[in-house]
Amino acid sequence: MVIRINGADADIKPETEKTVGEILSGLESWLTGSGHRMSGLVIDDIPVDSNSMDECFNKEIDTIKVLDIKTSSVSQLLAECLVSLLQDTNTWENTSFSEKVYFMSNWQKSPEACMLSEQVPVLYDLAVKTFSGEGAGSQVLRQLTEEHLRELQDPVGETGKSETAVTEICTRLEELPLDMQTGKDSRAVETIKTFSGILEKIFRIIGILKMEGFPVAKININNTPVAAYIAEFNTALRELLCAYEQYDTVLVGDLAEYEMAPRLRDLYAAVWDTIRGDINEQHTH
């Protein structure tokens, strides 16, 4: 049996494997480590679909001449899931009330829902709430999905566009103590919510860059590797949210002004400078 991956002969020789399922199980860890997933399967020029998958997995390899395996990057597959989610959102909006229950049940069984639950659980949970008739509505789901899609399609561009938002929210964080002391509670809530959203966006972009092979390890913030810096940031963020829930205005003010604002500025600057430096280096070569 000849095994091909994305059209090229693969140097894979079955040893103890007897079935297609056993071959694919052996490839799973390698694909995961390479940032790819299996996205298609063809046996002797016959494509395998969801209906024939179980039969295919049990098929003995001695009966097969050519096994063609198609793979795609996780980011590519995730982008396709987001496009499908936008289409599903439109379909849900035009589905009658009586049929929405069945829509929700069927959607949760779909491959895109499974991948979203694994890769973007926050977006998956929002979709479940929306399709269940709960939450803030389909428009919020659509906006967040479109934002995630832009990040996947152009992480560098999305990073650059975030500069103004980062600058503005850092200023708002420095003003947070005064807002809380003067009773501007709605503005304080909005500041915390906006800050959390922007921070999550920067974290997502870093993850996307890593999936795409960008040397994320090169990012260094004040002599701290980016992974360690993010861990410290998350710890400080939890402390801020806890203090905010307890309405400890003094601690919230100190953390927002002296921890959150400078940390976010430094993180964003380090990510953006590293990206631009890498781009300039590629152009030079």
> How far, in Å, CA of 113 to CA of 230, rounded?
28
> How far, in Å, CA of 88 to CA of 48, rounded?
24
Distances (CA, A) of 213 to 3, 82, 123, 229: 26, 21, 24, 20
Q: Could you list the pLDDT tens digit for every one of the 285 residues in the chain? A: 888 888 888 877 777 888 888 888 877 766 766 667 777 888 888 888 877 778 888 888 888 888 888 888 888 889 999 999 999 999 999 998 888 888 988 999 888 899 899 889 999 999 999 999 887 789 999 999 999 999 999 999 999 999 999 999 999 999 998 998 888 989 988 999 999 999 999 999 999 888 887 888 889 998 999 999 999 999 999 999 899 888 888 899 899 999 999 999 999 999 999 888 766 565 554
- Residue bearing tokens 């091909």: 4
> How far, in Å, CA of 109 to CA of 130, rounded?
16
- Beta-strand relationship, 2-5 and 66-73: parallel
CATH top class, domain 2-73: alpha beta
